[in-house]
Amino acid sequence: MIIAIDGPAAAGKGTLARALADRLNLAYLDTGLLYRATGHAVLRAGGDPADPVTAEAAARALSPADLDDPDLRTEAAAAAASAVAALPAVRAALLDVQRAFAARPPAGRDGVVLDGRDIGTVVCPEADHKLFITATLETRARRRFLELRDKGVDAIESSVLHDMVDRDARDSSRRVAPLVPAADAFVLDTSDLSVHDALAAALAYVRKRQERSGSTPAGTD
């Protein structure tokens, strides 16, 4: 089983993807980390994340250990991620990694869930289930602000919101793999949903589709 989850920043993609992976025995890939690690590597080397040659080299040199760096969660890494993510050569370099993960789930897992911006449209257009997770800008900025505050980061909510507007605009307007819902995605607005209720809605969607297609409902053994 392949589940594709896309949507803008802080919509609740990762929280939902992890919960679905847990409930349905799937392996999870946070594809945003690949772009964050690429952007971060360029910044650390003193390079410009918008430079295609430098950024592609960084994407091709990524190793699994690079994805564990706590600095990838910073807003600076997010902005650098969004800059490298607009470059076709970087997207092409990271596409193989993501498709390989989707094609071969680790032993013992019943499939995969990937979250990002272009999973349902580009990385896994053949995914069994596609969710586009969204929420109002204010809700998303508040969530990210609270996350930063909980981590002890001295953030200003209006700046978090402003950075998010910039990043969403860049992700949605780029020419390659822009942030758009796949035509066949289930759009879920989590603005007024708890984490628990968002999971329930996503599971209901997956199970309904499985019943329709005649397969065994997931996570009900």
Residues found near ligand CDP in the complex (CB under 6 A):
7, 9-15, 31-32, 35-36, 78, 81-82, 85, 116-119, 143, 147, 167, 171, 190, 193-195, 198
CA contacts within 13 A on the Cβ side of 212: 8
The answer to whether the CB of 117 falls within 8 A of the CB of 82 is: no
CB of 212: closest distance to ligand CDP in angstroms? 26
Q: Longest Cα pair distance anywhere in the chain, in angstroms? A: 54
Determine the distance from the C-alpha atom of residue 198 to the mean position of all C-alpha atoms in its chain, rounded to a whole number. 16
Among residues 145 and 210, whose Cβ is nearest to ligand CDP?
Answer: 145
Residue 10 among known ligand-binding residues: yes
CB of 174: closest distance to ligand CDP in angstroms? 8
Among residues 7 and 111, whose Cβ is nearest to ligand CDP?
Answer: 7
Among residues 2 and 85, whose Cβ is nearest to ligand CDP?
Answer: 85
Spatial distance between the Cα atoms of 44 and 105, rounded to a whole number of angstroms: 32
Residue 12 among known ligand-binding residues: yes
CB of 183: closest distance to ligand CDP in angstroms? 18
Residue 76 among known ligand-binding residues: no
CB of 135: closest distance to ligand CDP in angstroms? 7
Amino acid at 194: S
Spatial distance between the Cα atoms of 165 and 145, rounded to a whole number of angstroms: 14
Among residues 35 and 101, whose Cβ is nearest to ligand CDP?
Answer: 35
- DSSP H helix total and E strand total for the chain: 8, 5
Residue 8 among known ligand-binding residues: yes
What pairing do the DSSP bridges indicate for beta strands 186-189 and 2-6? unpaired
Residue 208 among known ligand-binding residues: no
Amino acid at 71: D
CB of 81: closest distance to ligand CDP in angstroms? 4
Q: Which H/E stretch holds residue 130? A: strand 129-134
Structure tokens belonging to residue 43: 């910044």
Residue 177 among known ligand-binding residues: no
CB of 73: closest distance to ligand CDP in angstroms? 8
Among residues 79 and 108, whose Cβ is nearest to ligand CDP?
Answer: 79
Structure tokens belonging to residue 202: 């996503």
Spatial distance between the Cα atoms of 137 and 58, rounded to a whole number of angstroms: 31
Residue 125 among known ligand-binding residues: no
Among residues 44 and 217, whose Cβ is nearest to ligand CDP?
Answer: 44
Binding residues: 7-15
Binding residues for ATP: 7-15
